[in-house]
Amino acid sequence: MSEPDFTEDTIAIVGVGLIGGSLGLAFKRVGIGKHIVGISRAETIGRARDQGAIDEGFAYEDLASGVRDADTIFLCTPISRILDLLPGCLDAAKPGCIITDVGSTKRAVVEAAGKHNRPDVAFIGGHPMAGSEWKGVDAADPFLFQNAIYVLTPSGDTARSQVDRMAAMVSRIGAHVLEMAPDTHDRVAAAVSHLPQMMATALVGLVGDLNEKDGLPLKMAAGGFRDMTRIASSPYDMWRDICRTNAVPIRDAIEGYLTALASLKDRIEEEALEEDFVYANEVRERIPKDSKGFLNPLHELLLVVEDKPGVIADVGTSLSEAHINIKDIEVLKVREGEGGSLRLGFGTLSDRERAGQILSTQGYKVLTR
C-alpha cells in the first residue's frame, strides 16, 4: 500500500497547548499539513504562530470558520472542553473530514461523537501516550510523539481507509499506532495510568500526614519513594476530567489494588511473599521496552559520578563516539556525601551493556537496575 500524500492537507488544531502545539510542530517538521490552523485564545494563537506550530489562528467563537476547510481536525483541549467543542466541529466539518481528539479517556468522547448525525465525517478517538509535566504551547515539542504509543479507537462503522489515513498521519510523526475499543482503552488506562496516579497521591498524602503528626523527616523519603511518587506532582486540572469521565474503571482498579494489597498484608511475614515479588519481577520484565507508553520503561543504568561541571558532557561524548543513543537522562537529586547519580535510559539491552562497559572502563561506577 502506498503511503497517503498529506502535503495538501489543511489541519485544524483546536486548543493549541502542549499536545496541540506539539502536533502542529511535528506535522510541520515532517511536511504534513500545508496549512495548519489553530483555534485558541488570542494570546495562545500569537505564541503558537511565533513558534511555527500554526499558520493561521481563530478564536473559539469562530470555530466553524477555523475548521470548515480542514481535512483533519484535532481536538486538543481538556476533555470537558473537547465534549463542549465537538458538536461545533461535527457541524462545521466538510464531508470526508476526519475529526479526532487527544483526550486521555475515550469512552465519553466516542459516545458523544456517535450521537451526532454526520455519517459523511469520520470521528476517530485518539490518545497519544506522550506528554510532560509542562503545560501550554510554550512547552510544545516537535519530537514529543517519537516512539510514543498512539491509541486510536475507531468505531465499527468508520471506513477502513479513513482509519488507515489517520494511522499513517501519526506514524509519520514517529508514533506507534495501537487500535482498540474505547472501553478497553479506558480499562487499561485505569489500571496502568490512572491507578498509579491515585496511588502516588495517596502515598504522598500518607507520608505528609506522618510528617505533620509524628515529625517523620521528609528527607528520608528518598530513592524509591521519589521514583514511585513523581507523578504526585501532577496538577489536578487534567485529572478532574480524567476521573469524571473514567470513574467506574478507576474505582474498579482501586478495588483490585486494595485486594492485592490486603493479600500482601496477610503474607507479610510468610516466606510465600517471595512468590509475589518473583511474579512482579517477571511481569515488569515483560513490559515492552521499545516505546514510550503508559509507563516508559527503558534499559537503565545508574552512574555514580562526582558532582562537578563537565560530567554530563564527558559521559555524553563517550557514548556518542560509540554511536550509543541515550534515550533518557536524569540527574538524581538525591545525593549522598559528595557523590551524585545520573540515571541513563537506553532503547536496547545491548546499548545498555555497551554503555556500561565503556563507562566502567573510564572509571565510572555503574549500577544496573
Q: Which residues bind ligand NAP (CB under 6 A)?
A: 15, 17-20, 40-41, 44, 76-79, 81, 102-104, 127-128, 131, 135-136, 238
β-pairing verdict for 56-58 and 35-39: parallel
Question: Cβ contacts of residue 116 below 8 Å, gap of 6+?
Answer: 86, 87, 90, 123
Q: Classify the C-alpha dihedral 43-49-50-51 as positive or negative.
A: positive
Nearest by Cα to 265 from 273, 253, 254: 273
All 3 cell numbers of residue 333? Answer: 537529586
Integer CA distances (angstroms), 64 to 16, 38, 110, 308, in order: 16, 12, 21, 56
How far is it, in rounded angstroms, from Cα 208 to Cα 331? 25
- In whole angstroms, how close is the CB of 209 to ligand NAP at the nearest point? 28
- In whole angstroms, how close is the CB of 9 to ligand NAP at the nearest point? 21
b/e map 293-303, b = 16+ CB within 10 Å: bbebbbbbbbb
Contact yes or no for 330/298 (Cβ under 8 A):
no
Nearest by Cα to 123 from 149, 90, 148, 94: 90
